[in-house]
Amino acid sequence: MARSDLLLALVQSGAGGDELAFRRAAEALIAEENAKKHGILASQLADALTRRKNPGSSVSPLSRPQESAGLYYETEPTRRMTELVLPTAVRQATTDLIEEHHRRDLLRSHGIEPRHRILLEGPPGSGKTTLAETIATEIAVPLLTVRYEALIGSFLGETASRLDVLFSAVRIRPCVLFFDEFDAVAKERGDTHETGEIKRVVSSLLVQIDRLPSHVIVIAATNHAELLDRAVWRRMQIRLSLPKATRAGKIELLRSWSARTGVTFGKSERSIADRLRHVSYAELEDFAEDVQRRQILDGFDADPSAVTERLLKVWANRAKPMPDLDG
Ligand SMILES: Nc1ncnc2c1ncn2[C@@H]1O[C@H](COP(=O)(O)OP(=O)(O)OP(=O)(O)O)[C@@H](O)[C@H]1O
Ligand SMILES: [Mg+2]
């Protein structure tokens, strides 16, 4: 049995002739049935909604998932919040968001929706992609990562219609829709001969994001928040900044990694963090995996402290700060 508030919204909007509200309610209902694994009912409902005559609607019709094949790839997320090193404010904001989705029925009974448009900003290897995956895991929905190379067509007008296909396919299921390296799309605005066309694509993208129901959690990640224009910022309800790795954060990461894998370094986490001063969290994890690999191969003879020391020397070369490409 579908939820009473959705049924009520469906009938009220249908009776009142409010096309947009009707679609929202129908899509939420379909998403709900999809989430309950009632796939047959969900696709019957989606078919019925697609066939509906829809004069003058600005909302694109639903398209079948197979038409959208290739525009995104879907993964079953597994990363958990506990594995991530995050500043307190970011962790709190993320926990709040997750709670809003877990308890959306309560919110909806008060006529309010959970937030679902999030911008993640931060340097390479600070955990943006991982945080998006984590949010999907914690809300228990699939992670759909948009593939720009498939989305951006080589012919004028093609991209806009692919965007329509993408959005109408995803809106009927609860998911995290992930735009990684979002500046790649937004930045192109100034870079091309077809500036006018790209501008139209970006505005159409933003309009589509606006119209998504709250069960589609849009997460956009970027290394270059300053390149995104105001229109993007304005739309995002939650903006989280993931900082460069800190010393305390590195110590925390090394400890939790050790606890998870059972691998010991034979040296204090503090001294490792001090010697790998310039690495990102992603690189630090690579280092830890190097240690694990070496320990496994050395077998019983492995001396953790000697292995760590040797790899720290190797990493000392890599660990020099990269030339700052961003100026
Ligand atoms: N804050 C963090 N806490 C724990 N692990 C992290 C953190 N940041 C990165 N990592 C580890 O590093 C790996 C790569 O991180 P991730 O891909 O999320 O970084 P990113 O910010 O998306 O980088 P890029 O900008 O290059 O896409 C992850 O698999 C994760 O295990
Ligand atoms: Mg990433």
Nearest C-alpha neighbor of 31 from the set 19, 17, 18, 45? 45
Q: Which ligand is nearest to the CA of 179?
A: 2
Query: What does the alpha-carbon distance between residue 54 and residue 57 come to, in Å, rounded to a whole number?
Result: 6
Q: What are phi and psi of 148, to 5 degrees?
A: -60, -35
> Side chain identity at 316, as an amino acid letter?
A
Report the predicted TM-score, pTM, of the whole model to 2 decimal places: 0.81
C-alpha 128 to ligand 2 mean position (Å): 5
The vertex-284 CA angle with 269 and 247, nearest 5°, equals: 50
Query: Other CB atoms closer than 10 Å to residue 47's CB: what's the count?
Result: 12
Query: Given this model, what pLDDT does residue 317 score?
Result: 78
- pLDDT reading at 7 higher than 90: no
Q: Where are the beta strands (DSSP E) in 141-206?
A: 143-146, 175-179
- pLDDT reading at 124 higher than 80: yes
Pick the most confident of 46-60, 103-117, 159-173, 224-238: 103-117
Q: What are phi and psi of 308, to 5 degrees?
A: -60, -45
- Cα–chain center distance at 88: 20
10 Å CB burial of residue 268 (0-12, 13-18, 19+) is exposed
Query: What does the alpha-carbon distance between residue 231 and residue 203 come to, in Å, rounded to a whole number?
Result: 9
C-alpha 10 to ligand 1 mean position (Å): 41
Partners of 222 in the β-ladder: 121
Q: What is the mean pLDDT of residues 167-188?
A: 85
pLDDT, one tens digit per residue, over 246-255 is 999 999 999 9
Among protein residues, the one whose CA lies closest to atom 27 of ligand 1: 124
- pLDDT reading at 2 higher than 90: no
Pocket probe for ligand 1: among 129, 133, 279, the residue whose CB has the most ligand atoms within 8 Å is 129
Higher pLDDT, 68 or 107: 107
C-alpha 179 to ligand 2 mean position (Å): 10
C-alpha 127 to ligand 2 mean position (Å): 7
pLDDT band for position 29 (cuts 50, 70, 90): confident
Pocket probe for ligand 1: among 79, 285, 326, the residue whose CB has the most ligand atoms within 8 Å is 285
- pLDDT reading at 271 higher than 90: yes
pLDDT, one tens digit per residue, over 48-95 is 887 665 444 444 445 455 556 688 999 999 999 988 999 999 999 999
Mean pLDDT score of the chain, rounded to an integer?
85
Pick the most confident of 16-20, 34-38, 82-86: 82-86
- Residue listed under structure tokens 């204090």: 268
Query: Given this model, what pLDDT does residue 84 score?
Result: 94
Quote the longest CA-to-CA distance of the chain.
Answer: 76
**Element at 88 (helix H, strand E):** helix 88-102
Q: Ligand 1 site: residues with CB under 6 angstroms?
A: 84-86, 122, 124-130, 223, 253, 281-282, 285
